[in-house]
Structure 1
Amino acid sequence: MKAVIMAGGSGTRLRPLTCKLPKPMVPLATRPIMEYIIGLLRCHGLTQIGVTLYYLPEVIKNYFGNGDEFGVTLRYFTEETPLGTAGSVKNAEDFLNETFLVISGDALTDLNLAEAIAFHQEKKALATLVLTRVKTPLEYGVVITDETGKIRRFLEKPGWGEVFSDTVNTGIYLLEPEIFRFYEKGEAVDFSKNLFPKLLAEGQPLYGYVAGGYWSDIGNLDQYRQANYDLLSGKVLLRLPGEEVAPGVRAGEGAEIEEGAEIEPPVILGRYARVKKTARISGYTVLGDHTHIQEHVSVKKSILWDHVYVGDHSELRGAVLGHRVHLKSRVSLYEGVVIGDGSTVGNRSLLRPEVKVWPEKYIESGSVLSNSLIWGTRWCNSLFGNLGIDKTFNQELTPEFAARLGVAYGSLLPEKARVVISADNSRPARTLKRAMIAGFLATGVNLFDLGIATTPVARYALVTLGADGGVHLRVSPRNGDGILVEFLDEKGFAVSRDLERKIEQRFFTEEYRRIAVDRIGEVFYIPHLLERYLEGILSATSPQQIRNAHFKVVVNYDRGILSLLLPTLLRALGCDAVHHQLLEENKDEAGPKSLKEILAVLDEIGGRVREEQADLGIVVDNNAERLILLDEKGRLIQDEQFVALIAFLVLKYTEHSTVPVPVTASGIIEELS
């Protein structure tokens, strides 16, 4: 009799472990799941085996080869597109010219296949489904049979109100080659969902055999951990790798346990694994091939794959670590943590329960990780950069991340404190603003929602409203896919480094203020804010003098919020404004200009200044914080001239007698003072 192993599964529910590995290659007690299946088939005399492949097929082929090393002969059949369980087996039709057994390559079982084969032959069935009894059948296909074993009914993944049997489909089938007459090659067909119900409806001889023994489909990460524990405890009647070196302790070739290390069974060590003195390995732990455990490490109920390094004084509790994971010193991993292949965790880092880290990530030293790390390549132990928090939208800076920022900042402010919040006109910034609002309100903080604004408008509103702090979100000036979150103090300035550290500490430790339902904060909206802002600008200048001069200016600015501010301001000042747009007319959302864009537009504006015989050329960035000026001949006013001009205006038209300037400023500044 021949057999077919269905090994095309991607194991989506086992991610991040299966990001780079097909599910049949996920290791149990240091060996791939499929290796146990091949061993089970070989023990029952099934050595001619076909293997259907789809996801990462070369990984399986490279490991098992032609099967000689495992005492069987393997032949591979690769799907180009997903065809379902029956569709994939149809690809092996020419190979399957006699009664054959179909089995999943990503389930763990010790069922007695010989008894199932004998039952199938006795009943002269077209198809026999191997069934098993489970306590909770909700996640499986339920099958009901009569007293002879003939199948009477199927039900896929029922609710509790639909459960009529505890016997479920294991995905192991005994089939006659005539079954291929009931569907076409290349057709997407599933055994349990399509083919078997069709055969039942047509009255074909379809039987179910209820087998005793162990079976787990390893459908999620909890079941994966439990399957390892069951193997170690002897609950599964399969031979484990290595040799028993002490009661309940198995070790592969070259494994080393230094004197002074403590090993509490059951434990299995892979080939050339090493446990150094003073380390403690507690029961139900798997150490993969070439895994190194340093001194003063404590590992409990954890599954470590191959080439893992665990630095000194680290603690692991119920964690799963993929291939080549590197933990530095004093790392703490709590129950349910899963780290994908090739990731590194820095010194003194802590990963909270159920955190998942996708492959090839780097977690900086001192980090506290409370949420899964899926996107990006690094996790920093600090949030703030030079301007605020600047991260890629929906990868590093997600809505849930933004909500936690709101909770962290809000927890540092008194209840009923008043915070100003605003965003630029980009959809990512506005989306994250809404998430932050939820976080603030949950701490009992009240919000002034300014809607769409610039950072200067937010600063003005914060001061005039007497708010306790503020947040403005805008497109990152360094990354068009990023969002910059600016935190402002009660004076409208960027918050101090000390407050930044406090926000980071609350964010990472999750020491948030939790309030009662009746103390949730409120949101207030400020009408006519832009008009009041413009009035504030005009009141701080001498508008009549400017009007009397009848200036003509060529101005360039991004569309969006500035289109509501700048034209109105120039009209109020009596300026004849010639508008020069950099952005296309149909572009609704303005991101920051790049240096290349700015340099390209300066020549155009300079030419336009000369053409229009204007007095001045002006370029304003999308946040109204960067200003570039050109003189009446279209020449760029250089940095040193610009600094001197600002210093002159401050000294002449304000009460300030001191002006801070860069150390590189021209000596003309001293003459002005």
Structure 2
Amino acid sequence: MNDTPVTAVILAAGEGRRLEPLTNRRPKPMVPVANRPLLEHVVEAVAAAGIDRIVLVVGYRQERIRNHFGDGDDWDVTIEYVEQSTQLGTGHAVLQTEPVVDGPFAVLNGDRIVDPEAVSAVCDRLHAGDTPLVTVTAVESPRDYGVVHLDGDRVTEIDEKPEGPVDTNRINAGVYGFAPAIFDAIRATNTAGKLAITATLNDLAGSDEVTALGYDGRWLDVSNLWDVLTVNAALIHDSDHARDAPAAGQRVGDTVTVAEDVVLAGNVRVGPNATLSGATAIGSNVTVAANAVVENTVVLPDAVIGPGAVVRDAVVAGNARIGPNATVVGGNATVVVGDAVHRDVTLGGVVGDNTSIGGGATLTDGAVVGDDVQADAGVVIDGRVESGAVVRRG
């Protein structure tokens, strides 16, 4: 394999239901952090690692991905697309690339951000003929991921989201190195329901065939809504974003306070005496009106934050309207996602696409408001509001 170029396969077909309502209109990899889609950060890491051919596995809302990335010219790479029409697991997604992959290849998740060094390390080992490879990193909450058990540098088991005691903090970082032989191994995997690539790797691990590759660099994962804020903040603080080099069309007055950890896209309008702070990303064509306060918040394009509104620890989706003097309280909350209860997470609230929050309204305790919601002035929203609902006062 020494002279064979490595292809990068990026898995970007998933829907990301735990991120609803943000994923009602866009695939999870296209949720923006630091004003760019998650997937763009992954593509940039691959390109920076020296890989010039990328295969994107797309499915749900794939037109959003195809329209954004095109043929890859803007990133100096060649991008090809393979469709996973039904999301039947990561192993199944990898299998869809068999017709277009005929040499060594790296696999990455389109919603998990790593440094280029992780990709480069996999490429180096692939050129040395080592396959299959699994990158392993250490995290504070291994139980939420695939816990990796090792014997030296050999993987003995990948235990997905274990319920029992965990005796290691090492997890599957989600960057793999494979040879085409993996396709036959995936087909030979006997599993009910969705086919995860980790099921195939566990089969191979029984024969001492899977090598672990340690990685201690940046590893940013978006699994839940509050992760959007955490990852956005990490990217802003780790980057070279410069507030003194404003994007085209910004109109920010002299009386506006913009902290160093705020990133502004193009055509942003900020009214007098507004305050932006706390790892905030303001998307294109956003208006933040006079006297508004926006802190630790991700605001998607075309949204409007009304005069005097206070928005903390929030995600405001595209074309949403936060009315005058409305408040997203911010702070820690208990949020229910499916059957899981998540306590003490930092999430003031989420406002879906095209939703309008009336003047003087309040969002508390991690409220999650769906798309196309109309909330009257003065209402208090606590919990979840389904898309299309009308929230009336009293």
Answer whether TM exceeds 0.5 for this pair.
yes
d(CA) in 2 for partners of 1:269 and 1:185?
49
What amino acid maps onto 1:74 in structure 2?
A: I
Q: Report the alpha carbon displacement of residue 223 of structure 1 after superposing the two structures with TM.
A: 1.6
Are the counterparts in 2 of residues 125 and 205 from structure 1 also a CA contact under 8 Å? no
- Specify which of 201, 210, 219 is matched with residue 223 of structure 2: 219
Q: Write the distance in 1 (CA, Å) between the matches of 2:232 and 2:366.
A: 18
Give 1:65 shift. Answer: 1.4
How far did 1:231 drift? Answer: 1.1
Q: Does 1:274 align with 2:269?
A: yes
State whether residues 126 and 204 of structure 1, in contact with CA within 8 Å, keep that contact through their aligned partners in structure 2: no
CA-CA distance at 1:302 after TM superposition: 1.2
Q: Deviations over 1:2-42 (max 9, x none)?
A: 11010011111111111111000000011100011111111
1:274-318 Cα distance to aligned partner (Å, 9 max, x none): 212111112211111111111111111111111111111111111
TM-score of the aligned structures, taking structure 1 as reference length? 0.53
2:355 matched to 1:343? yes
> Residue 171 of structure 1 aligns to which amino acid in structure 2?
G
Q: Is the 8 A contact 2:18 2:223 kept in 1?
A: yes
- 3-state SS, counterpart of residue 355 of structure 1: strand
Shift of 1:126: 2.5
Indicate whether 1:33 and 2:38 are aligned: yes
1:365 aligned partner: 377
Work out which of the residue numbers 127, 133, 154 in structure 1 matches 2:132: 127
The TM-score with structure 2 as length reference comes to 0.89
Return the alpha-carbon distance in structure 2 between the equivalents of residues 173 and 369 of structure 1: 43
**Correspondence 1:103-118 to 2 at 5 A:** 103-110=108-115, 112=117, 113-118=119-124
User: What residue identity is the alignment partner of 1:286?
Assistant: A
Partner of 1:179: 182
Correspondence 1:86 to 2:91: yes
Offset of residue 339 of structure 1: 0.5
In the alignment of these two chains, the number of paired residues is 368
Task: Work out the CA distance in 2 between the residues paired with 1:172 and 1:57.
Answer: 22
Shift of 1:186: 12
List runs of 5+ in structure 2 lacking aligned partners: 1-5, 331-347
For residue 119 of structure 1, report the CA deviation from its aligned partner: 3.4
Unmatched 5+ stretches in structure 1: 383-673
Match of 1:303 among 288, 295, 298: 298
Matches of 1:239 and 1:36, distance apart in 2: 14
Q: Which runs of 4+ in 1 moved over 4 A?
A: 185-188
Q: Which residue of 2 aligns with 1:245?
A: 243
Kindly provide the CA deviation profile for residues 406-450 of structure 1, in whole angstroms up to 9, marking residues without a partner as x: xxxxxxxxxxxxxxxxxxxxxxxxxxxxxxxxxxxxxxxxxxxxx
2:137 equivalent to 1:142: no
CA distance in 1, matches of 2:307, 2:270: 11
1:233 aligns with 2:237: yes
1:167 aligns with 2:170: yes
1:4 aligns to what SS in structure 2? strand
AA matched with 1:139:
D
**Mapping for residues 159-558 of structure 1, pairs under 5 Å:** 159=163, 161=165, 163-184=166-187, 189-192=195-198, 194-201=199-206, 203=207, 205-234=209-238, 244-246=242-244, 251-335=246-330, 336-374=348-386, 376-382=388-394
TM-superposed CA distance for 1:120, in Å, is 4.2
CA distance in 1, matches of 2:303, 2:162: 41
Once residues 190 and 170 of structure 1 are traced to their aligned partners in structure 2, the CA distance between those partners, rounded to angstroms, is 15
Work out which of the residue numbers 12, 19, 27 in structure 2 matches 1:22: 27
Q: Does 1:42 align with 2:47?
A: yes
- Partners of 2:177 and 2:359 lie apart in 1 by 53
Contact 1:293 1:310 in 2 (8 A): yes
Displacement, 1:164? 2.6
- Counterpart of 2:360 in structure 1: which amino acid? R
Please identify which structure carries the higher helix content: 1
How far apart, in 1, do the equivalents of 2:151 and 2:171 lie? 14
Instruction: Name the SS of the counterpart of 1:170 in structure 2.
Output: strand
Alignment-derived partner of residue 156 in structure 1: 160
Match of 1:73 among 71, 75, 78: 78
The one-letter code sitting in structure 1 at the alignment partner of 2:252 is I
Percent of aligned positions with the same letter in both sequences? Answer: 26
Q: Distance in 1 between matches of 2:189 and 2:135?
A: 26
Specify the SS of the correspondent of 1:19: coil
Deviations 1:598-639 (CA, angstroms, capped at 9, x unpaired) = xxxxxxxxxxxxxxxxxxxxxxxxxxxxxxxxxxxxxxxxxx
Tell which has more relative contact order, 1 or 2 (C-alpha 8 A, sep 6+). 2
Cα offset, 1:153, TM superposition: 2.6
1:143-166, CA deviations, whole angstroms, 9 ceiling, x for partnerless residues? 12233x1212322212352x1321
Distance 2:281 2:240 in 1: 15
Letter in 2 for 1:279: A
- For residue 86 of structure 1, give the secondary structure of its aligned residue in structure 2: helix
Q: Deviations over 1:70-123 (max 9, x none)?
A: 22111111122223111111111121111100000011222512123223444x
Supply the AA of the counterpart residue of 1:119: R
Verify the 8 A CA contact 1:355 1:370 in the aligned structure 2: yes
